[in-house]
Amino acid sequence: MASGLAFPSAAALWGKWIPTFERSTVPPAAQTGISIGIIFTTPLVSIMTENGFIGGWPSAFYVFGITSCIWFICWCFFGFNSPNQHPRISNKERLFLSKHIPPRPSKHRVTPWKKIACCPPVYGLAIMHVCYTYIYYTLLTSLPTYFATILNFNLQQNGFIFALPYFVQFLTTIIVGQIVDRLRARKTFSITTLRKTQTIIGTVGTCGFLVAIGYMGCNQFRAVLCCILAVGFLGLQTCGAIISHLDIASNYAGTLVGITNTLATIPGFVGPYVVGAITKNNQTIEAWRLIFNISAGIGAFGSLAYCILFNGEEQRWNRIEHENDTNGPTNT
């Protein structure tokens, strides 16, 4: 519950620190910490549990609780609200950031709730975010069970193999983010075109391989390969739709992420419940095929809603000089 505050807080900071031509690289790179955590902790927990380190399974809470405290101390030392408030960056870097980051209000402004509520791109973002996290949480919580019951991997094998898809997602996020930022800097395509293209490719890849998993039977290699590719294609969403709050309203990115991320926590308990209801006393290939097909359908719906509703141009109500204007994108 406490960690939920981190996501909107991070988005608010990105709006103050990250130039527009780095927003497909830096924020997603920060978010890949989630994937990196899964890559390292899953096999590590399996090893600690099997070897009885500090009592076995309780060691996971001790080790990662202490690690989180160390991170927090470092964050208090290095993290600052804006470039102008940071005492240790160079003047050259401060001037660079001031030049390339959209201007922010000099004083607190009332959040334009009515304009946010009437903004179609926000709805497209919210639907996409919810559907993305349904797939993400369903796979995150259910793949170990699938690997153990259908593919017959043992605990240690399960830990290492489960980490592979998230390693590929990490690589995809970093590589695609770099490509998108370069295309954006060259103004080859509009940000709307780039985001929708990422979403379509990512959705086709993820949903296609999710459906394919259900038809791999007990073939370990093919099933694991499809899992890796399905999660890997999610990386296109991680550096695209999931960070496009910054595209439409960087001054209110924290608020927008708070809204969509709150809604996106719902699949965190709905997804596992659906899996449990389908597989209760029914650990069969057919049951898991249904689970993967449902996830693919939800992902396709989210992509469709995003492509229809989303417009990546900055909204007028985000800009200082358009504070009193009507809702809509700017052409700047």
Residue 284 is assigned to a structural domain of this protein: yes
Find all residues with CB under 8 Å of 61, minimum gap 6, and list them.
none
Classified as helix, coil or strand, 110 is coil
Strand blocks (E) in the chain: none
**Position 49: which residue type?**
T
- Name residue 329's beta-bridge partners: 315
192: its two tokens: 């709307």
Residues of the chain with pLDDT under 70: 1-4, 52-56, 102-108, 155, 320-332
> For 144-168, how does the pLDDT look when each residue is reduced to its tens digit (9 = 90+)?
889 989 988 876 777 788 888 988 9
Range of the domain at 68: 2-99+112-322
Domain count across the chain: 1
pLDDT in the model for residue 116? 93
Residue 223 is assigned to a structural domain of this protein: yes
Q: How many angstroms from the chain centroid is the CA of residue 230?
A: 15
Residue 277 is assigned to a structural domain of this protein: yes
Per-residue b/e over 3-19, b at no fewer than 16 CB within 10 Å?
eeeebbebbbbbbbbbe
pLDDT in the model for residue 331? 44
Residue 330 is assigned to a structural domain of this protein: no
pLDDT in the model for residue 329? 54
Residue 105 is assigned to a structural domain of this protein: no
Rounded-to-integer distance, Cα 190 and Cα 175, Å: 19
154: its two tokens: 């043992």
Taking the model in full, what pTM does it have? 0.83
Residue 229 is assigned to a structural domain of this protein: yes
Ramachandran sector of residue 36 (left: φ over 0; alpha: ψ -120 to 50; beta: rest): alpha
pLDDT in the model for residue 326? 44
Residue 291 is assigned to a structural domain of this protein: yes
CATH of the domain at 152: 1.20.1250.20
pLDDT in the model for residue 124? 95
CB atoms within 10 A of CB 245: 29
Rounded-to-integer distance, Cα 29 and Cα 18, Å: 12
Residue 188 is assigned to a structural domain of this protein: yes
